[in-house]
Structure 1
Amino acid sequence: MKVGFIGLGNVGGKLAGSLLRNDVDVTVLDQKPELVAAFVERGAGSAASAVELMRACDAVITCLSSPAASAAVMAEMLPEVGPGKVWLEMSTTDEAEIRRLAVLVEERGGKAVDCPVSGGCHRADTGNISIFAGCDRETFERVLPLLQRLGRRILHTGPIGTASVLKVVTNYLATANLISVCEALVTSKAAGMDLNIAYEAIKISSGTSFVHETEGQVILNGSRDISFTLDLVAKDIGLFQAIAERAGLPLELSPLLNEIIRDGQARYGPRELSPNIIRRLEDATGLEIRAPGFPAEMTDDEPEAPGYEVVPGGTRSDLVG
């Protein structure tokens, strides 16, 4: 399978790197020529446009910054979509928009998969990231070998759009956890706790989480570098809130989280690293949340291995029968 990849940013560049590392025939496209050039040096092909990429490839993956960016790229590619072509949307996007674009693809005889990733840039870099895939079962089985080269744990979530819903649900939970981790660390410091000990206490207790064990470390290091920015957080939790509003849900925590992130953007800028949302509390209290011995960025120490399908307990016959 000849694969095109559009979007070589923090996540996309690492995913495309996994394809190259696993000997997939990859042609790349990005607005930044230097990113494309680096991939060409590693053995990738390059294309001058999205339409050229779709014309030349069996499958095209997009990993872009916003639903609007994905829509613009699809508008360019659409004339070359036809039977045998597959579009895989790996961006975090709006489930209504992915369904709209999927209809356009399928009207021309192609197939669409919404397959966002979750687990952090450090896991995207090693091929150990998790992938949600929303599409019909036949298409899922067709693209599964490709997804197994991109990630470790692959979950077929159901029809197109379901993966995007679950992606923003998980990102919402990560944001809620980030804010609570910030408050927990600041409160520990204010109470006179040693932050190295506080980190370990949380880690070995019922309070631990993926966010605490990743973003908590770069917060304490002071780098706050998790390769994710406040504008992306705002996009993701805004998408979650939109889903809730369409369903008429009277959520209480979600609107507050959106307000906290908006305030952080206003104070520190939309491109501020997301763990630096803790600066709101540092500025308000005068406390510095730092501790020695923590890394400046996260690395994944899980050995790379072929990906596999995750089958939810109790629903195996529904998903793979």
Structure 2
Amino acid sequence: MADRAGPVGFIGLGMMGLPMARSLMARGFAVLACDSSAAALAALAEGAPAGALATAPTPAAVAAGAEVVVLMLPTSRIVAEVMEGKDGLLPALRPGMLVIDMGSSEPAETRRLAEAAAARGARIMDAPVSGSVAKAKTGTLAIMCGGDDATFAQAEPVLRGMGEAIIRTGAVGSAHAMKALNNFVYAAGLLATAEALRMGEALGLDLNILSDVMNASSGRNIATETKAKQEIIPGRYAGGFQLGLMRKDLETAGSIATETGTDSPSLALCRALWSEAVAMLGPKVDNTEIHRFLGRRAGG
């Protein structure tokens, strides 16, 4: 059993953060939660075990009451605001504290904040997740972890309250880099799947059989396996990951390409198409709506 002596601070109760915080409480952790949304805090309180939940008005107040603080925030800009803004975490960090950034932040920004935290005797680990809202609800996420041995040892009990597959990736910042590159590969597979389904439809093919063919053959990928029949073909478009967040991860991958001087034409194509899709459909729609975007783009 993990050490449950003190609460885990948790900042960011969005689509993924809310079930992740609930998973921690279900596994015996007390949570000290902070979110700008009163509705999100109220939703977390519903069904919370007695004595398992407290709330804090600011990130600094979370730091005052917890030794380990989880961030589940959508962008590096918001992470920086929570860390360095008014009543932020950074000035309130104490020696020995750990901040776990579980969003999909920019690796260079993660390294910068880790250096700032280290100057106060604290640590930052990047631990982005892979998996759907359903996996967040069951505490079976895959979690990538960037940090040294001491940081991982401090974080591991908390991470196992939310995830099943824990993968160490190297130094701080490496997990955010790998998450961005992984999501680029996913986006490329989703785009190819959506285009293939559009072409199959134009030919009058049975799209469910086309999906079966791809899943039994070399075209198989996570999009053909979990998005084609489930979300795209029936027009449900509810895979659980926003189009705008996909675009953001592609931009992070683009910053890695620039930093490393890597020629990446397929990444450039994905970035351009996802940006066009966000402009047309808005950032809040599901990422599987890239299929609907392709149809509208072609005038269909």
> What RMSD over aligned residues (CA atoms) do the two structures have, in Å?
1.4
Aligned residue for 1:221? Answer: 234
Q: CA deviation at 1:284?
A: 4.8
In 2, the alpha carbon distance for the partners of 1:115 and 1:210 equals 21
User: Is the contact between residue 225 and residue 275 of structure 1 (CA under 8 Å) also seen in structure 2?
Assistant: yes
Equivalent residue for 2:181? 169
C-alpha contact 1:40 1:46 (8 A) present in aligned 2: no
Matches within 5 A, 1:199-210: 199-210=211-222
Helix, strand or coil at the partner of 1:5: strand
CA offset at residue 5 of structure 1? Answer: 0.6
Between 1:64-73 and 1:37-46, the stretch displaced more is 37-46
Query: Residue 2 of structure 1 contacts residue 57 of structure 1 at CA under 8 Å; is this kept in 2?
Result: yes
5+ long unaligned stretches in structure 1: 288-321
Equivalenced residue count is 287
Give CA deviations for 1:65-102 in whole Å, capped at 9, x if unaligned: 11010001111111221122110000101101001111
**Which residue is equivalent to 1:293?**
none
Amino acid at match of 1:229: Q
1:96 matched to 2:102? The reply is: no
Q: Match of 1:182, as an amino acid?
A: A
Rounded Cα–Cα distance in structure 2 between residues aligned with 1:79 and 1:281: 47
1:7 aligns with 2:25: no
Query: What secondary structure is seen at the aligned counterpart in 1 of 2:115?
Result: helix
Name the residue aligned to 1:53.
62
Question: Distance in 2 between the 1:112 and 1:259 partners?
Answer: 32
CA distance in structure 1 between the partners assigned to 2:175 and 2:115 by the alignment: 16
Contact 2:94 2:121 in 1 (8 A): yes
Structure 2, unaligned stretches of length 5 or more? 1-5
Read off the aligned partner of 2:270 and give its amino acid letter.
L
> C-alpha offsets along residues 147-199 of structure 1, whole Å, 9 cap, x if unaligned?
11110100111110000110101111111111001011111212221112112
Q: CA deviation at 1:215?
A: 2.2
Q: Which of 42, 47, 67 lines up with 2:47 in the alignment?
A: 42
- Tell whether 2:248 aligns with 1:235: yes
Aligned: 1:190 with 2:173: no
What is the identity percentage for the equivalent residue pairs of Structure 1 and Structure 2? 32
Partners of 2:64 and 2:118 in 1: CA distance: 16
AA at the equivalent of 1:47: A
Q: Is the 8 A contact 2:114 2:124 kept in 1?
A: yes
Q: Distance in 2 between matches of 1:218 and 1:252?
A: 28
1:1-321 pair list within 5 angstroms = 1-43=6-48, 44-75=53-84, 76-216=88-228, 217-284=230-297
Per-residue deviation at 1:280?
2.8
Q: Distance in 2 between matches of 1:68 and 1:205?
A: 41
Q: CA deviation at 1:57?
A: 0.5
Aligned position for 1:291:
none
TM-score relative to the length of structure 1? 0.86
Contact kept? 2:281, 2:293, Cα under 8 Å: no
The answer to whether the Cα contact below 8 Å between 1:3 and 1:24 also exists between their aligned partners in 2 is: yes
Structure 1 residue 285: Cα displacement: 5.2
Match of 1:317 in 2: none
